[in-house]
Structure 1
Amino acid sequence: MTDYDHDFYNPAPEPARTAVLAVPHPAPLNPRGIIITCAACHAARDWLLIHVQPDLVFVRCRCAHEWREHDLETADVTAARSDTGDEREWASFEDMYRGLRFDGLLRYTYLG
């Protein structure tokens, strides 16, 4: 055996990427007839809806507060997606939050 036989390149498999869909949603959310508000800043509109496969839906506020919203479903995010039509891929969640202005910098600012 040569040294070359021991040093062959065996790359590790790439980790599976989590499928995430993030859609800005400027309007209020009221899935059960009650308007959703941010527990941190009390905002009532201008959200980022985040769908993480398979069935997790999160809501993020401009103040950077984020929570899992059990009253929203994949269909709600998909419906909001058809309103925007803009799609991008991000290297990380932090880049996505910063790029979409949901990183806390515009806290207490409504854009919609």
Structure 2
Amino acid sequence: MLSENLQAPRTLVPETAFGDDPLLRLQQETQPAGGNIGLRATTHPEEIRITGITVMCPQCGARRDWMVICNRNEISIRCRCAHQWVERELTRADYLAMIGEGIGQDYPSLEAAAQAAGYDGTLAGTYLSEPRPE
């Protein structure tokens, strides 16, 4: 026996009002208040070791005095020479462990963070603090 209507009827999606785009609404709801884009940064004067290897800037050779940037779940390291790279071995949990709870600063943009902390290239080659003896 053949049936002429093998498919279930489609559910009609109600028309959305102009300007009520669900994707835009989701983006607005998930963005932090105040226009902040979710960027946090902190300075780290000591060396950073990842899997036992000391991080070194591939551009200038610096081995300490970093800016560590957490942009949502992506961690970047920035040198005073303004060279920056994503460090895929570090996670948001590593970043939080590095800075502790409630420490670090929120910035509206990477440029604002780099300029405020002196990692915009103007202090290239400068170490502002001495590492603590081990």
**TM-score normalised to structure 1 length:** 0.76
Aligned residues: 100
Structure 2 Cα separation of the partners of residues 38 and 83 of structure 1: 27
Deviations 1:57-101 (A, max 9, x none): 10000000000001111122112222893x444343212111110
1:75 alignment partner in structure 2: 93
Larger CA deviation: 96-105 vs 70-79: 70-79
**TM-score (normalised: structure 2):** 0.65
Pairs within 5 Å for 1:49-88: 49-53=68-72, 55-82=73-100, 85=103, 87-88=104-105
Identity of aligned residues (%): 32
Conservation of the 8 A alpha-carbon contact between 1:58 and 1:66: yes
CA distance in 2, matches of 1:50, 1:89: 10
CA distance in 2, matches of 1:50, 1:59: 6
Equivalent residue number for residue 64 of structure 2: 45
The runs of 5 or more residues in structure 1 that have no matched partner are 1-9
Contact 2:39 2:106 in 1 (8 A): no
Identify the residue that residue 25 of structure 1 maps to in structure 2. 44
Rg bigger for which structure?
2
Residue of structure 1 in register with 2:112 after alignment? 95
Worse-matched range after superposition: 29-38 or 74-83: 74-83
Give the aligned residue type for 2:38.
Answer: A
Change (3 A) 1:105 1:23: same
Corresponding residue for residue 121 of structure 2: 104
